[in-house]
Amino acid sequence: MQALNSTPVVDGRRRDLWRDDHAVDGWAREHGGLGGGEERRWLRTARDALQAVESGAPAEPRLRRILAGVRKVPRPGTSGVEWRLEVPSERRLAVELVLAWADVKERMPGRLRPCGNPECRLFLLDRSRANAARWCSMKTCGNRLKARRHQARVREAPRSE
């Protein structure tokens, strides 16, 4: 989710938290990567493709490029079968990001979606029992939209004199 939510809207403007190379390299190192230009490029491509898919835009060519030639190979391990990912090192984190997204989509269908606030660029993973969450945050987007709807109703209500 952190990668998907790396382009928030702050003070009405879209910010790209991964625009700065040091920020992407830091994220990469936190997740087992090395950082560097090629790894950053693949990570940004993966993030943009996943955001597009979750927003309903086509992203298949980008996903196909990221996943080209990738293989998961089974190996016997101490606790059973372990899967090793065969992918060029500069693409490994981007592939793992796509695979983690695919895993969430498979295990929790319909639970990952864009925030219901059209001005927001964040995504939410709905863990509620009813699968009815609409906003990335009730504090921010939920309250703002509810307040706007309330103000609109008050303005439209006929005044009694």
Question: What pLDDT is attached to residue 160?
Answer: 64
CA distance 52 to 59: 6
Task: Supply the pTM of this predicted model.
Answer: 0.82
Indicate the residue among 107, 127, 145 that finishes a domain.
107
Question: What pLDDT is attached to residue 147?
Answer: 60
Indicate the residue among 107, 123, 150 that finishes a domain.
107
- Residues 100 and 117 both lie in one domain: no
- Residues 152 and 101 both lie in one domain: no
Q: How far is CA 67 from the centre of its chain?
A: 17
- Residues 20 and 92 both lie in one domain: yes
Task: Kindly tell me if the per-residue pLDDT of 55 is higher than 70.
Answer: yes
Task: Kindly tell me if the per-residue pLDDT of 138 is higher than 90.
Answer: no
| 32 to 29, 42, 76, 95, 121: CA distances (angstroms) | 5, 15, 23, 13, 27
- Residues 30 and 93 both lie in one domain: yes
Q: Using one digit for the tens of pLDDT, what is the confidence trace for 5-50?
A: 999 988 889 999 999 999 999 999 999 999 999 999 999 999 999 9
CA distance 135 to 124: 7
CA distance 13 to 7: 10
- Residues 26 and 92 both lie in one domain: yes
- Residues 98 and 45 both lie in one domain: yes
- Residues 8 and 61 both lie in one domain: yes
- Amino acid at the residue 19: R
The rounded percent of the chain whose pLDDT value lies above 90 is 68
CA distance 54 to 112: 8
- Residues 34 and 1 both lie in one domain: yes
- Residues 71 and 137 both lie in one domain: no
